[in-house]
Amino acid sequence: MAFLVLLVSGNRMNGQSDFGFKPAASNIQGAAFPKLSMDNSVYVRLLAPGAQKVQVQGGDGLCPKPLDLKKDSTGNWNGIIPSAGPGFHYYWFIVDGLRVNDPGSDTYFGYGRPTSGIEIPIADEDFFTAKNVPHGEVREYWYYSEITGKWRRAFVYTPAEYEKNPKKRYPVLYLLHGAGENERGWSFQGRMNFIMDNLIAEGKAVPMIIVNDNGYATAKDAPTAPAGFSARDMTKMAETLEKVYVQEIIPGIDKFYRTKADRGNRAMAGLSMGGLQTMLIGFNHPELFSYYGLFSAAIIGNVMDNPKTAFNGLFADPVAFNKKIKVLWFGAGSGETQFVTMMNDSRKKLEELGIISTGYVSQGTFHEWHSWRRDLREFAPLLFK
């Protein structure tokens, strides 16, 4: 998708109307910019009177390449990004080569740091918004990891009825984030809690506990992990994270929360890097999980080159696999063609073995949060039934 910046004079775009532009819902309180138009064009502004050059850049579906802004007589730099893709997007300014956040927007942990974000509304699509239904809670769960030698934090969603039914136990979905993000992502950017509140209230999903643990782990006696997210780095990190899941986080959640602590009531899913981790951790432990979800999964290297022998022979006996694993689900956005290709190739290889899986393509979305919101909406109703 090509993006242009409309360069305009400051006096043409000042005032409350601004040709139909209104402040984005994701702005901090009282901030006038960024603004959105009816066709989801994004009007950005940054006050930087001493700057020589200012650009705006954002994630997939917004403006992947830096776009030049134009300075007006008051020192504001202005520009319009036309027709942004639906859902949540990260973005930032580049001021004389220095990346800075927009003081008008809230920040979210993405691209390995706090980063500005903007919510692009979607006509006739509100499954991820807060509605007048019973709401669950998102809690912080802290635990000390002997494996990493550090305190770790997970965010845990409990359904609205959790406190009202003190004797009832619940199935658990372990839901993993992507590279450059952290355990806050599924709640803050993904709106996971509202998606689940709405699905449960509509009777489309069973009440469940959802755990969003931190996706980075380095053994306490190992060198500091590199800042990058290469295939080798992610694979190596998954080896340590696997131990954290098997020895610490799953037993800890089962002890602290009222879970149904058996494989038939346990699922794992993740987006991008989290999808790869779901394979490298979850596929290696079918004794722990009965449901798998791969959202824009980074199916890298040779993890699926020979699925018949991969993951300790998990797929070697398709009849046994199809009986034991209740759901194997793949999803990707239509705009992230590389991930659609990886998904289709993997499903084809598995199908040739006789492995049953489900594929879903989110139309008009990219490698970004609205693809994964839709993935969760489609995946969660299949669990624990």
How many whole angstroms separate alpha carbon 119 and alpha carbon 121?
A: 6
Sorting pLDDT into bands at 50, 70 and 90, what band is 223?
A: confident
pTM recorded for the entire structure: 0.91
pLDDT at 225: 56
Quick check: 256 pLDDT over 90?
Answer: yes
- At residue 8, does pLDDT exceed 80? no
**Mean pLDDT taken over the chain:** 91
Segment 138-164 mean pLDDT: 97
Confidence of residue 10 (pLDDT cuts 50, 70, 90): very low
Residue 13: its pLDDT value, please?
Answer: 44
Domain ranges of the chain: 10-120, 137-382
- At residue 358, the pLDDT reads 97
> pLDDT (tens digit, 9 = 90+) per residue, 332-347?
999 999 999 999 999 9
Write the pLDDT tens digit of every residue in 51-102: 999 999 998 889 989 999 999 999 999 999 987 888 899 999 999 999 999 9
| Strand-pair category, 327-333 with 291-295 | parallel
CA 41: distance to chain centroid?
23
| pLDDT, position 116 | 97
Contact between residue 46 and residue 93 where contact means Cβ atoms under 8 Å apart? yes
Task: Give the residue-averaged pLDDT of 278-285.
Answer: 96
Residue with the bigger pLDDT between 149 and 16: it is: 149
**pLDDT reading at 2 higher than 50:** no
Instruction: Tell me the mean pLDDT in the region 232-242.
Output: 84
User: pLDDT of 284-313, one tens digit each?
Assistant: 999 999 999 999 998 876 667 788 888 989
226 or 352: whose pLDDT is higher?
A: 352
Is residue 3 pLDDT above 90, yes or no?
no
Backbone angles phi, psi at 348, to 5 degrees: -65, -45
2-6 — which CB contacts under 8 Å span 24+ positions?
Answer: 3/63, 3/64, 3/65, 3/67, 3/81, 3/82, 4/67, 4/82, 5/56, 5/67, 5/68, 5/69, 5/70, 5/79, 5/80, 5/81, 6/79, 6/80, 6/82
pLDDT for residue 327: 98
Does pLDDT of 15 surpass 90?
no
Structural contact between residues 353 and 347, judged by C-beta atoms closer than 8 angstroms: no
205: confidence class by pLDDT, cuts 50, 70, 90: very high
Which pLDDT band holds residue 230 (cuts at 50, 70, 90)?
low
Output the pLDDT for position 235: 78
Quote the pLDDT of residue 333.
96
Q: What does each C-alpha distance from 171 to 162, 253, 286 come to in angstroms?
A: 12, 11, 16
Predicted confidence (pLDDT) per residue in 167-185, tens digit: 999 999 999 999 999 999 9
pLDDT at 226 over 70: no
**Which helix or strand (DSSP H or E) is residue 353 part of?**
helix 337-353
23-36 residues labelled b (16+ CB within 10 A) or e (exposed): bbebbeeebebbbb
pLDDT digits (tens, 9 = 90+) for 312-324: 899 999 999 999 9
What is the average per-residue pLDDT within 212-231? 78
The pair of structure tokens assigned to 255 is: 């002890």
Q: For 137-382, CATH number?
A: 3.40.50.1820
- The answer on pLDDT for 198 being more than 50 is yes
Q: How far apart are the first and last CA of the chain?
A: 40
CATH architecture of 10-120: Sandwich (2.60)
The encoded tokens of residue 117 equal: 């974000």
Degrees (nearest 5) of the Cα angle 27, 29, 33?
A: 40
Mean pLDDT, residues 238-250 taken together:
96
Rounded-to-10 torsion of CA 294, 298, 302, 307: 10
| Spatial distance between the Cα atoms of 70 and 82, rounded to a whole number of angstroms | 16
Higher per-residue pLDDT: 3 or 378: 378
